[in-house]
A and B are shown apart, each in its own frame.
Chain A
Amino acid sequence: MAKPNPNDRKYTKEHEWAKIDEGNTVTMGITDHAQELLTDVVYVELPALGRKVRKMQPFAVVESVKSVSDIFAPVSGEVIEVNQALEATPELINKDAFGEGWIAKIKMDEPSELDSLMTAEGYEEHIGTNPH
């Protein structure tokens, strides 16, 4: 069973989470439900530092043994940090999707975009009706 979805962050329909760090910066990753569906992450293609992204634009790739999945930016902004540890240990996403398996930090252009993302409760309802 997937780990509970923490209440301290927001969620996308594509199974990303975004958590406000400080000011206008969010840390993002994929949900534990998503890593369960992916299984055994063996490769992560991280975005370039400084890259400008738009909300729900694919900007990273996570690969399992079987599949290749786009990861979408939950908010618009600039990539200011990426989780380099994933290059050597991509399985961190399987072990701790909401913590050590984070993917990138984004400096938001428009912090109000977060309001349009789902709460943990909304996300659970979303995956309850749409398990894929």
Chain B
Amino acid sequence: MKKTPLYERHLALGATMTEFGGWAMPVQYSGVIDEHRNTRTLAGLFDVCHMGEIEVRGPQALDLLQRVMSRNLAAQQIGEMKLSAITNQKGGIIDDVTVYKRGEDHYLVVTNAATREGDLEWILRARREKGFEKAEVTDLSDATGKIDIQGPIAQMILSEIVEGDLGSLRFYHAMETRVAGVDAMVSRSGYTGEDGFEVYTAAARIGEIWDLLLHVGDPHGLKPAGLGARDTLRLEAGMMLFGHEMCQTVTPYEVVYGWITDLDKDFIGRDALKKQKEDGVRKKLVGFELIDRGIARHGYPVLAAGEQVGEVTSGTFSPTLGKAIGLAFVPVSLKEPGSELEIEIRSQRARAKVVPLPFYRRKK
């Protein structure tokens, strides 16, 4: 198993470690619910060094990215960040990524941990096929450290050690700056449904930022948070996780990524997706709440009129809402909020109903 540069710090903090995407990661420190609530009310600090970073530079960088990304990046400004899918010829999702434009002809693609190598191969293959030799593709994952600070007081804490004005940094925008005296890129973004920031720097220096953030943040209530809380936070916010909601046989239209799929430009998978959009999807990802007692989990069957019609992709007990929630694929006839479903939990049927996403929306 691979270790992030913060591995020893997690052990020293008493974290319970788990395997995720080939990495030894902290699942929790003080407890999932405590870390979840702390991130919703104050702030949480997350080690996300396991994620991949692929740099694409040069005069044909945009041409290459336009070829592999579902999102139209033509109008992207320097300092802007865009969520995008990478799709295969059939429109299936290879990964969901964020694309930062760091300068003219200079992009950073941030990938999921387990998909990093596949993404890199895919991008290099598209580069070869199209002869985009003037796009340099470099895997910076091992050289890059990344931590997220999320929660209502994240800005106040990070401001203490960042150069520049975080207050003027807009959502899904990034700035090149220094954090704890170390060169870093900071974006206002995250995976929790709260205000917050993602911080990128050299892997060898990420520990300094982690330590100083905990030092200055501790008196205000900043606590480290593990993958357990990251998962419950993202699910409450209606955010999807690759490997659960998405895989190579699921398309952006079947999940909630129609809005990042721009059929007006050419990219791998466009023709299949165009056809699917015209024909309409057969299944759709929805949010649900359990009416009966129990917790629905990844892989549990969804039933309607006694027949299996779909599958749960993620499910948990929502600490904020105090009830069992989840995401599931259902036939389009059942996608509207209020539709009644049954979920098979250990050979018993529990009633559930479709609800609008997200489950949780922060007060602004």
The interface of chain A, by Cβ under 8 A from chain B, is 39-40, 42-43, 45, 61, 63-66, 68, 87
Contacts and interface: CB of A to CB of B under 8 A. Distances in A.
B232 A65 contact: yes
B346 A61 contact: yes
B312 to A, nearest CB: 13
Given A42-B317, A43-B293, A43-B294, A66 B32 contact: yes
Contacts of A87: 293
Given A45-B346, A66-B228, A39 B294 contact: no
A68 B32 CA distance: 15
User: Interface of chain A, helix or strand or loop or mixed?
Assistant: strand
Nearest to B36: A65
Given A39-B28, A40-B33, A65 B293 contact: no
Contacts of B228: 39, 65-66
B27 interface: yes
Contacts of A45: 294, 346
A40 B317 CA distance: 10
User: Interface of chain B, helix or strand or loop or mixed?
Assistant: mixed
Nearest to A42: B317
Interface residues of B, number: 19
Most buried by B among A40, A63, A87: A40
A21 B36 CA distance: 39
A93 to B, nearest CB: 13
Nearest to A94: B31
Interface string B63-78: 0000000000000000
B58 interface: no
B295 interface: yes
Given A43-B295, A61-B346, A65-B319, 9 more contacts: A39-B16, A39-B28, A39-B32, A43-B294, A43-B317, A45-B346, A65-B32, A66-B27, A66-B228
Nearest to B229: A65
Contacts of B32: 39-40, 64-66
